Amino acid sequence: MARRLSHLGEPSPTIIEDVYARKIFNSRGEPTIEVDVIAAEGFGRASAPSGKSRGAHEAVPFPEGGVDAAVAKVEEVIAPEIIGLDAAQQSVIDDLLREVDGTENFSNIGGNTAYAVSLAVANAAASARALPLYQHLGGVACSELPYPLGNVLGGGKHAGGGAPDIQEFLVIPVGASSVSEALEAIFAVHRAVRGVIESRDPSFTGGRGDEGAWAPNASNEEALDVVYKACDQVSREMGFEVRMGLDVAASSLWNPKRQRYVYVRDGVERSTEEQLSYMLSLVEEYELAYLEDPFEEEDFESFAELTKSVKSCLVCGDDLFTTNVNRLRMGVKKGACNAIIIKINQVGTLSQAIEAVRMAKKHGLAPVVSHRSGETPDPSIAHVCVGLGCPIIKTGVVGGERVAKLNELLRIEDVLGDYARMAHLNL
């Protein structure tokens, strides 16, 4: 346990002097929690996002009683414990949050509560040190910038009836030489996708899902063709390669009683073997660079079979791992994936997410820092991604809460100047 240093003479600039919590609203208009941490010479703020498609092994988002109860927990339980501690001692404070909660899945204080406190502490420490968060986390020499991965067409739980079964049709500008170029490309693909949809369906009214992706009345095959055509068009216009990716969110398709993946929109059911064959055919036909959650969240073996069968494609686990090092350890042992989604509020604290990133890198998995479908304008994950040296950031493409992260990457790139370089992608 860290000592409270206020009685030792001149206080450290990173000593926590006060903590506040409030209820705000995310991009879906749902309540969530925001936390302010005031240090002796710094200030940090963070707000928690919320996922709609959540893995079974994630931390519980909020305690019983919801956001109001979470705010009360911060003010009545957490604040008295961390006031007087050093915000620079991130792991100590994060361990204290776990100790105060006392459960394996943050069901007492809530994973979103832990997230907001943990990130606000990190931001306060960075502010007190007069450093941007990415340098506070990664050192003043960190200069590697991630490629943006964003969904331009949506289905599944992120869209309404008639939309594709596959949850996210993604694009990643793998040939971009800067963040600025990369963002121009993904915005161009987003616009091009609408144009292709309208050329095929004049009745399309411009409907969009939770993350700003277009949500047409289309089959999975039609949606794949639309995005592939838009990527090809923009690649030729920009002069570098923009490739497709998918987040299948297969756990939401899996029917455990029937032991089948049920594609309601397409009227198709697939066994596990047929799902594997289907995924392999999509990787080949559409030259996928990225494939997330192609199987349900307990099927490590099918993930492994797919991973060893594809080239130049990242097979990424989200619901499979839930940013949990124990789940990741199982996946590494089985060779399940070559990439992992990092969502801090899946495990609750920044320290636990950092541990997952380090383990992933040690075993050759690409860490992909990700937003959630219900987001806030908080740009912290852009800094986390750069500070931890993660090669991809999954943010969505449009919507103020998504663009806030992307614009923050532009600011970081501007500050780094000639030192900035794009991450290496093994594709």
Per residue in 59-94, pLDDT (tens digit) is 899 999 999 999 999 999 999 999 999 999 999 999
Does residue 281 sit in the same domain as residue 149? yes
Interval 11-56: pLDDT, tens: 799 999 999 999 999 999 999 999 999 999 999 999 999 876 666 7
Answer yes or no: is 295 within a domain.
Answer: yes
Instruction: Let me know whether 203 and 116 are in one domain.
Output: no
CB 361 within 8 A of CB 426: no
Average pLDDT over residues 125-137: 97
Q: Who contacts 292 (Cβ-Cβ below 8 Å, separation ≥6)? A: 168, 170, 245, 246, 247, 248, 249, 316, 317, 318, 339, 341
Strand pairing class (290-292; 16-25)? unpaired
Alpha-carbon distances, residue 43 vs 2, 80, 122 (angstroms): 20, 18, 10
> What pLDDT score does 377 carry?
95
Same domain (yes/no): 294, 311:
yes
Q: 91 and 34, same structural domain? A: yes
The domain that holds 257 is classified in CATH as: 3.20.20.120
Residue 70 lies in a domain: yes
Predicted pLDDT of residue 53: 60
**For 368-386, how does the pLDDT look when each residue is reduced to its tens digit (9 = 90+)?**
999 998 999 999 999 999 9
Q: Per-residue pLDDT averaged across 221-240, rounded?
A: 97
Mean pLDDT value across residues 242-247: 98
In a domain, 5, yes or no: no
CA 265 to chain CA centroid, Å, is 26
Predicted pLDDT at 9? 55
Q: What pTM does this model have? A: 0.94
Work out how many domains the chain is built from and give that number.
2
Does residue 11 lie within any of the structural domains? no
Domain finish residue from 83, 101, 130: 130
At 214, list the tokens: 């277009």
CB-based contacts of 107, cutoff 8 Å, min separation 6: 60, 63, 101
One domain, residues 46 and 179:
no
Please tell me the distance from the alpha carbon of residue 56 to that of residue 72, in angstroms, as a whole number: 26
Q: Count Cβ atoms below 10 Å from residue 15 Cβ, excluding itself.
A: 23
Cβ atoms of 336 and 359 closer than 8 Å? no
**pLDDT, mean of residues 348-366:** 97
Residue 8 placed within a domain: no
Which one of 82, 107, 130 terminates a domain? 130
Residue 191 dihedral angles phi and psi, to the nearest 5°:
-65, -40
Q: What is the tens place of the pLDDT at every residue in 250-271?
A: 999 999 999 999 999 999 999 9
Q: What is the pLDDT of residue 157?
A: 77
- Mean pLDDT over residues 157-161, rounded? 73
Q: What is the pLDDT of residue 161?
A: 76
**C-alpha angle with apex 181: 288 to 28, nearest 5 degrees?**
70
Q: What percent of the chain has pLDDT over 70?
A: 96
**Mean pLDDT over the full length of the chain:** 94
SS3 label, residue 19: strand
How high is the pLDDT of residue 58?
Answer: 82
Q: Is the pLDDT reported for residue 115 higher than 60?
A: yes
pLDDT digits (tens, 9 = 90+) for 395-406: 999 999 999 999
The span from the CA of 337 to the CA of 316, in Å, is 6
Q: Note the pLDDT of residue 347.
A: 92
Residues near 24 by Cβ (< 8 Å), separated by ≥ 6?
Answer: 31, 32, 33, 34, 47, 376
User: Do residues 80 and 149 both lie within one domain?
Assistant: no
pLDDT (average), residues 209-235: 95
What pLDDT was estimated at residue 292?
97
pLDDT of residue 427: 85
CA distances from 174 to 179, 294, 342 (A): 11, 21, 20
Tell me, what DSSP letter sits at residue 107?
Answer: T
Contact 180, 240 (CB under 8 A): no
Res 56: pLDDT: 76
Boundary of a domain, candidates 77, 108, 130: 130
Q: How many CA atoms lie within 13 A of 191 on its CB side?
A: 8
pLDDT band at 57 (very low <50, low <70, confident <90, very high): confident
Whole-number Å distance between alpha carbons of 379 and 292: 23
Pair (33, 79) in one structural domain: yes
Instruction: Provide the domain limits for residue 30.
Output: 16-130
Question: In terms of domains, do 109 and 172 share one?
Answer: no
In whole angstroms, what is the distance from residue 232 CA to residue 50 CA? 33
> What pLDDT is recorded for position 10?
66
The CA-based angle 116-120-122, given to 5 degrees, is 125
Contacts (Cβ under 8 Å, ≥6 apart) of 71: 21, 22, 23, 33
Q: Report CA 315 to chain centroid distance, whole Å.
A: 15
- CA dihedral in degrees (351, 356, 362, 363; nearest 10)? 170
Do 183 and 312 belong together in one domain?
A: yes
Q: For 109, phi and psi rounded to 5 degrees? A: -100, -20
* Catalytic residue numbers, as ranges: 211, 343
Query: CB within 8 A of 217, min separation 6: which ones?
Result: 162, 163, 201, 204
The answer on 174 and 81 residing in a single domain is no
The reported pLDDT for the residue numbered 59 is 87
